[in-house]
A and B are shown apart, each in its own frame.
Chain A
Amino acid sequence: MKLQELLAKTGWKLVTKLDDKEITGVVISDMLSDVMTNAKPGELWLTVQTHKNTISAANLVDISAIVVTHGKEIPADTVALANRFRVNIISCELATFELVRKLVGLGIGA
């Protein structure tokens, strides 16, 4: 599934410009080094981190989008940097666990 389709199916909000990428799976962590080690290209990264450093990490391991859970506000400088490096950020009100359930229901990461 591609990002645009996921957004259409869930109604989750994209806070950056869209760079429509194929979603290959999911990685969950709030520790950047864990993401650097474990994320595979094309995965969605579920996190509560919203500061600028997430963008370079996301860009370096080529994840398809950062999904910020629990409806956390995303600072404007993070969004600006994400747009510069074509990193997608999705904002979602759900808690991480609920979000995972939803993704699994849609067949992502199965």
Chain B
Amino acid sequence: MTETKPLNVSLSCLREILQAEVLCGEELLGGNAEGIYASDLMSDVLAYGNAGSILLTGLCTKQAVITAFLALFKAVVFIRGKLPTPEMIAFAKEKHLVVFMTETDMFEACLKLGYLAGVVQSDTLQQCEFEDKHVSHHEFMIEGSDFANSGMVSTSVKQILQSIGYDPMLIRRVAISTYEAEMNVVMHAHRGKVFLTAGDREIVVVIDDEGKGIPDIDLAMQRGFSTATEEQRALGFGSGMGLPNIKKSTDDLNISSVVGKGTRLEAHFLVQQPPSQ
């Protein structure tokens, strides 16, 4: 690690790096940022932020803009595509604050700016390859025992991936894995959340459920092993191929489970061909 250099870059340069949209204060972009403070807790910003800095935050309320003003910051960057209200923008304009919005998440934004500040070395950054311009995040809910709507989450996942333009065989692997995991939640859990992260290099599906959990994951991974009820089997479920199918379709799979609490399944898919869009 190199020594941290004092930051002194123009706001227009920051906009480039974060690929941010300027929501107000276009005329102030020639000004320099003297530091960066990233937080969602406004008291921390007031306590530790230095004047002349820019604020990176996921807190999209008027408090964020007021805090930036009080701490004598030059700009506020709302991360992860959060859009401030017209009232917030009007306030920022009046106080000569620049307001940016970026689709980038906090971690990635900090890393990119950390590189700029010399905290992160450039070879580290190259390894990370932040060419990942199109990362999209989606979240879905699954209700346990809801057979009428089951399969809809994986159908939505497939539609999203198709609209981004991934390779059909990759979409198929993600769709199959998500479907099997979704059906597991419907059959064995009370409810679950699905998080889809679709990037240029990797697609990740995380399914987190509240339910009975899996006592023996190795056993559950065996082909043909199933704890499905007779009713579920009559519907064509419970062939004991769900988890093995997921395993076969993913590039990396992590399952953790606590009996009586729930199961978390994390499936990774490597993107060989960048999406066509």
- A residues sitting closer than 8 Å to B (CB atoms) are 30-34, 36-37, 41, 47, 49, 51-57, 59-62, 77, 85
Are B239 and A60 within 8 A (Cβ)? no
* B142 proximal to A (CB < 8 A): no
Closest to A33 in B: B241
Chain B residues with Cβ below 8 Å from A85 are 155
Residues on the B chain within 8 Å of A55, using CB: 151
Question: Cβ of A49 and Cβ of B235 under 8 Å apart?
Answer: yes
Question: Is B116 interfacial (CB-CB < 8 Å)?
Answer: no
Can you show 11 pairs from A to B with CB atoms below 8 A apart? A32-B237, A33-B180, A34-B239, A34-B241, A37-B176, A37-B241, A53-B237, A56-B151, A59-B158, A60-B176, A60-B179
Contact of B147 among A31, A53, A59 (CB under 8 A): A53
Tell me if B47 is interfacial: C-beta within 8 Å of chain A: no
What's the nearest-Cβ distance from chain A to residue B245, in Å? Answer: 5
The CA of A99 and the CA of B235, in the complex, are separated in Å by: 22
**Residues of chain B at the chain A interface (Cβ within 8 Å):** 147-148, 150-152, 154-155, 158, 168, 172, 175-176, 179-180, 183, 235-242, 245, 248
Q: A49-B235, A56-B179, A61-B172 in contact; A33/B155 too (CB < 8 A)? A: no
Instruction: Report yes or no: A37 in contact with B152, Cβ–Cβ below 8 A.
Output: no
A36 touches B245 (CB 8 A): yes
Residues of the A chain whose Cβ atoms lie less than 8 Å from the Cβ of B154: 56, 60
Q: Which residue of chain A is the closest to B182 with respect to CB atoms?
A: A56
